[in-house]
Amino acid sequence: MKQLRKSIRVIALVLALMVLLPIGYGGYSLIRYGTRWRTSEYNTYLTSMKSGVTAGSIYDRNGVTLASTTVSTDETGETVRTRTYAQDASVRAAVIHVVGDTRGNVKNAAESFMAEYLYGTNMSYAERLKQVLSTGSLRGDDITLTLDSSLCAYAASLFPQDKSGAIVVMNYKTGEIYALQSFPNYDPQSGKTVTVRQALNRATRWLSAPGSTFKVITLAAALQSLPGAAESSYTCTGGVSFGEHQRVVTDYGAAAHGTLTLKDAFMKSCNSTFAMLACQMGDKALRKTAQSFGLDDAFTFRDLVVENSAYASSSAALLGADLAWTGAGQNQLAVTPLHMCMVAAAVANDGVMMEPRLLLRAVGAEGAERQTFEPAVYRTAMDAQTASTVREYMRAVVTGGTGRSAAVRGLTVCAKTGTAEIDTQEKDNAWFIGFIDDDAYPFAVCVAVENAGTGGAVAAPIAQKIFARLAGK
């Protein structure tokens, strides 16, 4: 009998867990991913809610109209709502991956992801009733984005027309995004069929090895985990072998840099040195620092959906050449341009990584401000002292290293270039991350150009012009 009661208790416990675990996971998922589900194009309830509501307008930070709705009546007396976008075609194309369009070509753009404001689904039933009784219809909130549409149009004009890639500009003090662009883009009012290539938001969804821009993270890890790393000297012969199969990590163009300080190695983007550093500190230390910068996180930002970046495809410790190549910015690393902009921003902001923001405010149909949105700290990536040293090294990249083409007279620009080798492509992916080290112009920039060449030759000159524009140079 005692054994029977014990068995019954075990069975009861198992049954309880079978009920409670799905409920618990469902609750967790609702909290974590609720906004994504609620604003999904597959949400039929949202679709039906939209049908009888006049969508609010979308403005950039300077009051430029990016989207608005015109209401008219057709010959049958039916209400017709027409959604139109910015007057300037270059602006329409430059902001399309943030604003979106009525056909939902761009997933998780403002037209869908911020529908709770634009279509008033966040309003109480009392507020909805009051609006209907006073105006005879329902209208959603107007929203103001952090975007600078003029800057977006200018940045788009700089990007190679035949290439794919992304540009991200953000305020590293507040997380406000001034530009979030993917290429190729398209004009939502052109009437042309939108291709998958045009619709994909490469700034937030394209995952790629970041090349030598990852050396910012490897450098931070070395400074924090290898005592004396900054004072040591390193020898580069153009390549170094790792592992039992003697796989070689080579430097770009097989360059032999000779004897280097750590700063010199960073300036010249020496793969051999950073490969050796990765192996010296070990996978645990490098992985820990990478994760402190947000790799392997499940990104659930309030204002936008971003693909999760990955340090490696499994949790197994990296060894030999795999670890060496990871330290140099290759191997299994997979990050988005937005995330790499956040990495640069954290260096500029004394190690503090701000959550990326697209919403400034929401204003109700009667003109009353419904909500303002404040900056939020996402995480601390490193201590302020380490960030200061990394800033110093990134400054040297611009004054005498691979990022000289990003220099702007009168500005303290700090940067890291990257050239990611992709076996399936004719050319490498060109990367650049950097920032203006000046509280008057607290901007970080990422430029990524697919299948284009080196970061110093292709991406850095684009960033240079953006920095100059931001500072009025």
CB 145 within 8 A of CB 60: yes
Angstrom CA distances, 455 to 160, 405, 447, stand at 13, 10, 9
With b for 16 or more beta-carbon neighbours within 10 A and e for fewer, the 339-376 pattern comes to bbbbbbbbbbbbbbbbbbbbbbbbbbbeeeebeebeee
Q: Is 182 a catalytic residue?
A: no
Q: Which of 276, 266, 215, 212 is nearest to 241 (CA)?
A: 276
Residue 317 φ/ψ, nearest 5 degrees: -60, 135
Helices 149-158/460-470 angle, 10° precision: 150
Longest CA–CA separation in the chain, Å:
88
d(CA 347, CA 451): 27
- In terms of DSSP bridges, do strands 359-363 and 369-372 run parallel, antiparallel, or are they unpaired? antiparallel
CB atoms within 10 A of CB 185: 23
The CA-based angle 96-97-98, given to 5 degrees, is 90
Catalytic residue among 57, 212, 272, 292: 212
Task: Dig out the tokens for 102 from the structure.
Answer: 């009525």
- Residues noted as catalytic: 212
